[in-house]
């Protein structure tokens, strides 16, 4: 039996989504909690596997991460959700569990992903773990003009930290919006997939454009040929959220 699992989490205290040895991860914490639930269920109920739609970096959050869970169980999706949430720490929460066909795969079935980055325009007592506070006044019009360059299919090698040099850096960006929201600036980016640190480096470059320290010519050069320059402006993980996975 296979289930789609929708999850929200505060990534501050985790090394990222992916399960790792000797470090705390979101996936690892979920698996431990799920195993506890199944160990307390009488009968043939058995947990098999949990896989996510993709990795989020250390310190990055999720408003709605998607995973698939394989198991043998007679428990309803709602009861499973309640029982697993009872075992989870307060910074991870299962939003919904839905029964799906066996050919569903959280990562391979996904069509696109959307991230949200939150910039605070003021010092905040309560939001520090969930924003990037920027003291400088940012010119949104300059940021928006530069953001248009990222739309479509591009080679994002300059904006990624590739573990494997042969890994393809081509990504299709479907949309990128920058909107003021009271004391915040919200940057949303939707793409076919994302490379390691890609969103944070795009945000960092957009902020430099907003500061007036980077222009369209600079960004075009980063997209046309490899440059290590964007890595210097990598935005902190605190403001980044995986917002939605589309199927």
Alpha helix ranges (H) inside the chain: 26-39, 77-87, 140-147, 198-210, 216-224
Burial state string for 185-218 with b = 16 or more CB within 10 A and e = fewer than 16: bebbbbbebbbebbbbbbbbbbbbbbbeebeeeb
DSSP 138: P
Crossing angle of helices 26-39 and 77-87, in 10° steps, is 110
Q: Tell me the Cα Rg of the chain.
A: 19
Q: Which residues are registered as beta bridge partners of 165?
A: none
69: alpha, beta or left, given left = phi > 0 and alpha = psi -120 to 50? beta
What are the percentages of helix, strand and coil residues in the chain, rounded to 5? 30, 30, 40
Q: How far apart are CA 171 and CA 159, in angstroms?
A: 11
Is 44 tagged catalytic? no
Q: How far apart are CA 40 and CA 60, in angstroms?
A: 32
Candidate list 44, 45, 49, 57, residue with the active-site label: 57
Q: How far apart are CA 61 and CA 65, in angstroms?
A: 9
The catalytic residue positions are 57
């Amino acid at each position: 039996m296979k289930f789609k699992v929708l999850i929200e989490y505060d990534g501050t205290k985790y090394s990222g989504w992916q399960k790792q040895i000797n470090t705390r991860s979101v996936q690892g914490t979920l698996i431990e909690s799920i195993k506890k639930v199944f160990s307390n269920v009488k009968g043939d109920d058995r947990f098999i596997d949990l896989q996510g739609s993709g990795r989020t970096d250390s310190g990055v959050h999720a408003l709605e991460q998607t995973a698939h869970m394989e198991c043998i169980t007679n428990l309803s999706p709602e009861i499973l959700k309640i029982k697993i949430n009872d075992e989870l720490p307060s910074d991870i929460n299962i939003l919904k569990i839905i029964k799906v066909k066996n050919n569903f795969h959280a990562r391979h079935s996904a069509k696109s992903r959307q991230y949200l980055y939150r910039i605070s325009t003021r010092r905040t007592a309560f939001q520090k773990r969930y924003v990037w506070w920027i003291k400088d006044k940012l010119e949104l019009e300059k940021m928006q003009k530069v953001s248009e360059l990222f739309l479509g299919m591009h080679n994002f090698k300059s904006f990624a930290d590739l573990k494997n040099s042969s890994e393809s850096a081509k990504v299709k960006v479907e949309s990128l919006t920058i909107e003021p929201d009271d004391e915040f600036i919200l940057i949303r980016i939707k793409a076919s997939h994302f490379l390691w640190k890609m969103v944070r480096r795009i945000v960092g470059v957009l902020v430099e454009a907003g500061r007036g320290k980077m222009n369209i010519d600079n960004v075009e050069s980063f997209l046309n040929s490899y440059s290590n320059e964007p890595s210097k402006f990598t935005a902190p993980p605190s403001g980044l959220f995986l917002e939605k996975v589309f199927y």
